[in-house]
Structure 1
C-alpha cells in the first residue's frame, strides 16, 4: 500500500488567476526516499504542505490525496500529528521550548503519552541522533546544525510513517548539512520511514534518493531514478540541469562513453578510467596575472564583541580587510561569528574593543528576509524605502525596474509572506538594492534560490561591482563562492583564520571546498570550479 497517493491534484492560492499545482498524480511507497526539486516558485513547498493538513495553505484545491488508503482530510488530528512529521527550512521556526530534553518530549506530551513512554522515547532519540552530550542544554546555546537535528529528533520521537522536509539544510554549513542528511538517510534505511524532501543544493542528496520528482510550473516534469532524471534534465537543456551534482555536469560536458558518475567517489573513478592510458600534460589552469592591491572599503581591526557582558565573546580579536569593488565571501560553520561581523560592518553592533572603518554607505540583507517586510504587498514594500519626495509615477518606475531585474514583476501585488522562500529572498534583495548602497552586505543571499536564478544573481552582483559597489557576502553556498567570489575568508571561533583569492582558498581546503576540487585532487591542480575540470579534461584528451 502507498503511504501517499495523489490523484489529479490541483491547488490555487486566493486571488491568483493560475493554479500553483496542476494535475499532480504521484505515489509514495513505504520506505521510499523521494527528492522533490524544481525552480524557485515551481510549487515544491506548496505540494509538500498539502501532505501535512495542519500546514496546508488557504486556497482552492481539486483532486484527492490519500494517506495509507484513507482520504488525508479525514485523518484525525492525533494521526496527522504523529504519523506525518514535518521539518521546516529555518531551524528556529519549529522550536517551542527552552531545553533540549523538553523539546524532545514536547510532541509526546501533546499526544498525551505516559511519562514512562515519554522518558523511553526521548532517551532513545537522544541516543539514535547522538545528542546525549547536549541533552540538558538550553536550546539557545545550540548551533544551527544542532537545532535542526533537534527538530528532526523531536519529530521522529513521535514515530511517524512519513517524514517531510522542506529545504532543511539551506541554513546549515556544509559539514552540518552533510551530518543532517546522513541522519535522514539513517532514518530511511534503518527505520524504513518514507521520506519526501525538497532541496536546492542537490550535490549531497541527489545520489541517496530512490526517485527524483522535478516540478516545472506546477506540473511534474520528470518522475524517475536519479540517473534517469539527470539524463532527462540534461537532454532537454532544462534550467534545473544547472543544479545537478558536479560529477554529472562535468561528465555531460566531456565526450566519453563511460557510465555517468553521481558522487565524488564515482567521479574520481570515472576520471581514473578516462585517463587510464593517457599522461596528464596539462595539470592546472593558467591563472591571470595578480591584480593590483585595492584600498579597503571596510576594515575591522582587533575587534571584540559579545551580546551581553556576562556572555562569552562572539567576535574575538578579529582583523579583516574588505577591498573596494570586489565580491568578498565569508564562509565557516554555524555560530562562528560571520553574521555578527556583518552586523558590525553595517553599524548595527559596536565592538566592545577594536576599530571599525567603513568607507561608504552600507545596506544589509539579513538572513531572514521576512524581517524587512513591512507592507501588505511587495510593491508597497519596495516603494517604502524610496525618497518620500519622489512622485507616485517615479516610485512606480523605480520599483518596476528593480522588480524586472530580479524577476518579481508578477509578484508585486502579492503579500510578501505568501511568497516562496526563494521569491522572498529576491524581494528582500530588491528592497535593499533600492537604497543604492556603496557597500552591500549580504547574509546567506542564495538561500532558497534555484541554480537558474543564482546565475542571474551573480550577473546582478557583477554589474553592481562594475559600477563601483563593494559586496560582502556570508554564505554556506561553497559552489557559488568558488565560482564568483574574488576572495574568501574562513571564520572559526569568532575570528578570521585564513583569507585568499577564491581559487587558492578553496584549492587548499578539504571540507570547505567544492565537489570538483574533491573529485580531481591528485589529478589536477587548483581545479575548484566545474568549468576548470571540464576545460582540463577536454584539453588533455585533445592533446593526443
Structure 2
C-alpha cells in the first residue's frame, strides 16, 4: 500500500448544494514531492485538511484515508501530531508563542521530550534554517517570510514523515518565496521527506515536483509527471483555465504551437528560445502613464509614521502621487512597510509628520462617513477581517443597505456585482467555508459596492487562480476607464506587469524607485518577471508572456514571408 492512500473520498460542507470533493482516489509514495493545483474552489485546501485529522472540516464525508497502512482516524495522538506536519497559508494563524526559540520548542514540549533533547533539536533546526540571528526575537517582530520559515522549522523539529503545505508562499515576496521553495526541495532530497503542496504560484515549484495533480470541481483531472501534465493540459483539455496558471516557459511554448517537448524551467526556456528564435532588440513601445492628465487625486508628501511613540520609524519620508484612472503597484520585500503605507494613504493611520492630501484637502479634515462611503475603499490583506455575516448574500446586502438608494437600485446593484464576480453558487455559503481565492473575490465585491474613487488593494490576487486573476484584471480595467485611481500592494509580479501603469519599489520605509511598468521590470535583474528572465538575452524589454509570444510570432511571420 502507498504511504498516503486516499480511497473514494467524498465530502460536503453543511447546507452546501453539492460535494466539494467527489470520489477522490490518490496514492502518494514515501519520499514523493507532490504538487496539487487547480482553480479556486476546486477542493484543494479541503482535501489537504482531511489529511490532518485535527483540522478536518465539519461536514458529511465518505471513503477512507490511509497513512502508512493505517486508517488516519485510528492513528495514536502522538503519531498523528508528530509524523504529519501542516503549514497553513497564513503564518499568523499558526504561531502560538511570543518568542522564536519558544515556538521552535513548543511542539517538542507537548510531545514530552526532556530538556536536553529539546535543546538539541531546537539548535539543530535553528542552524539548518538560518534562524540564529533572530532566535531570541519576539514572534510579532518577524516579517511574513520569517514567520513562515519559523512555522516550517517548528514542525520539522518534531521530525515529521509527511509535510503538508497549503499555499505557504501566498504572502511572501518573490525572493522569499523562492528561498522557501528551495528549502522544501532540500528537505525532500536530503531527508527523503514526503511533501504534499497546494500552490497557485507554479513558476518555482512545478519543475521540482515528482508529480503534479490537477483538480477541477472536486475531482482529479490530471495526475502525472510535470511533463506529462503539461502535455495533457495542452492536448486533452485545450481550453481548461489551468493552462493560464502553468509556468511561463510552458505557456509560451504552447502558444507558439511548438511540437518539441515543453521547457519546464527558465533555463530550459532560454535554451529553447535561443534554438528557435533570433535576438531582436526592436523595442516594444512602453505604455507609459502620462502624469500631465491633471492634478493628482491623492498626494502623499514626506510622511513619517511609527506605531509607538518611542518605536522605530516604519515610514521614512514616504511620498507618492496618485492620478485618476491609473493603477500603481507598490512592490518590495516582506516587512518593508508597504501595508503600513496603505494605512497612511487611506487614513487608517495618522503620520506624525508630512501631509496626505485628497483633492488638495488634508485627509484628516474629511469626515469618516464621507471618506469611506464616497471616496476611499480598502481591501485588506486578510479578507476575513471584513467578512462578518453568515452568508455571502448577507455580506453584500449589508453594504448596499447603507447607501441612500431605492430598493430596486439595491437589487440591481447586488445582482450586477454577483454576475461580475460569478458568485451565484456561493451566495448561501458561510464566507469562512470558502477557499482563500473565493474569500478575496467576495471581499472585493463587497467594497466595490461603495463605488470608491480611490481603491486600495493589499495582495488582491492572494489565493486566486489564473482564471480568477483574468476576471480581476478586467474589473480593474473597467474601474480605470471610470477614472478610479487604484493603489495595489502586491507580491504578484506577473499580475503587476500585465496590469499596472506604474510600479514603485518600496525599501527601508520609502519608495526608492518608480517608473512605468515596462521600464521598471526590464531594468531589474532579480525583481522581474519570469518572462523577462527567460527572454532578455533576445528581447530587451519583453516583460510578460504575451510580449514574448508576440515577438516570437513576429519572427515566425517574417520567416513565412521570406519562404
Question: 2:201 matched to 1:201?
Answer: yes
Partner of 2:130: 130
Q: Is the 8 A contact 1:487 1:502 kept in 2?
A: yes
CA distance, structure 2, for counterparts of residue 451 and residue 316 of structure 1: 35
Secondary structure of the structure 1 residue equivalent to 2:410: helix
CA distance, structure 2, for counterparts of residue 401 and residue 67 of structure 1: 47
Task: Name the Cα RMSD after superposition.
Answer: 1.4
CA distance, structure 2, for counterparts of residue 88 and residue 180 of structure 1: 14
Q: Structure 1 residues 289, 143: CA separation in 2 closer, same or farther (over 3 Å shift)?
A: closer
CA distance, structure 2, for counterparts of residue 472 and residue 288 of structure 1: 18
Give the alignment partner of residue 475 of structure 2, picking from 460, 480, 488: 460
Secondary structure of the structure 2 residue equivalent to 1:296: coil
Per-residue deviation, 1:400? 2.5
Structure 2 alignment gaps of length 5 or more? 360-373
Secondary structure of the structure 2 residue equivalent to 1:347: coil
Give the alignment partner of residue 446 of structure 1, picking from 461, 473, 495: 461
CA distance, structure 1, for counterparts of residue 217 and residue 401 of structure 2: 36
Question: 2:539 matched to 1:524?
Answer: yes
Q: Is the 8 A contact 2:16 2:429 kept in 1?
A: no
Secondary structure of the structure 2 residue equivalent to 1:24: strand
Q: Structure 1 residues 392, 50: CA separation in 2 closer, same or farther (over 3 Å shift)?
A: farther
Per-residue deviation, 1:399? 2.0
Q: Is the 8 A contact 2:289 2:516 kept in 1?
A: no
Q: Is the 8 A contact 2:286 2:518 kept in 1?
A: no
Partner of 2:87: 87
Q: Is the 8 A contact 1:12 1:59 kept in 2?
A: yes
User: CA offsets, 1:288-341, max 9 Å, x none?
Assistant: 687462321211111100000111100001111112111111110111111111
Partner of 1:268: 270
Question: 2:377 matched to 1:363?
Answer: yes
Q: Is the 8 A contact 1:282 1:540 kept in 2?
A: no
Q: Within 5 A, what are the aligned runs for 1:370-519? A: 370-388=384-402, 390=405, 394-519=409-534
Query: If the length of structure 2 is used for normalisation, what is the TM-score?
Result: 0.94
Partner of 1:121: 121
Q: Within 5 A, what are the aligned runs for 1:93-172? A: 93-172=93-172
Per-residue deviation, 1:394? 4.3
CA distance, structure 2, for counterparts of residue 280 and residue 524 of structure 1: 6
Q: Structure 1 residues 255, 283: CA separation in 2 closer, same or farther (over 3 Å shift)?
A: farther
Partner of 2:243: 241
User: CA offsets, 1:65-111, max 9 Å, x none?
Assistant: 10000001111221111010000001111000010000000011111
Q: Is the 8 A contact 2:288 2:516 kept in 1?
A: no
CA distance, structure 2, for counterparts of residue 249 and residue 281 of structure 1: 20
Q: Is the 8 A contact 2:281 2:540 kept in 1?
A: no
Secondary structure of the structure 1 residue equivalent to 2:506: strand
Q: Is the 8 A contact 2:497 2:529 kept in 1?
A: yes
CA distance, structure 1, for counterparts of residue 279 and residue 100 of structure 2: 53
CA distance, structure 2, for counterparts of residue 290 and residue 402 of structure 1: 29
Q: Structure 1 residues 8, 289: CA separation in 2 closer, same or farther (over 3 Å shift)?
A: closer
CA distance, structure 2, for counterparts of residue 435 and residue 2 of structure 1: 52
Task: Count residues in correspondence.
Answer: 541
CA distance, structure 1, for counterparts of residue 216 and residue 187 of structure 2: 29
User: CA offsets, 1:336-368, max 9 Å, x none?
Assistant: 111111111111011110011123711101001
Q: Structure 1 residues 114, 431: CA separation in 2 closer, same or farther (over 3 Å shift)?
A: same
Deviates more, 1:407-416 or 1:422-431: 407-416
CA distance, structure 2, for counterparts of residue 106 and residue 290 of structure 1: 51
Per-residue deviation, 1:213? 0.3
Structure 1 alignment gaps of length 5 or more? none
Secondary structure of the structure 1 residue equivalent to 2:541: coil
Q: Is the 8 A contact 1:36 1:212 kept in 2?
A: yes
Q: Is the 8 A contact 1:284 1:536 kept in 2?
A: no
Secondary structure of the structure 1 residue equivalent to 2:350: coil
Secondary structure of the structure 2 residue equivalent to 1:458: helix
Q: Is the 8 A contact 2:289 2:502 kept in 1?
A: no
Partner of 2:350: 350
Secondary structure of the structure 2 residue equivalent to 1:62: strand
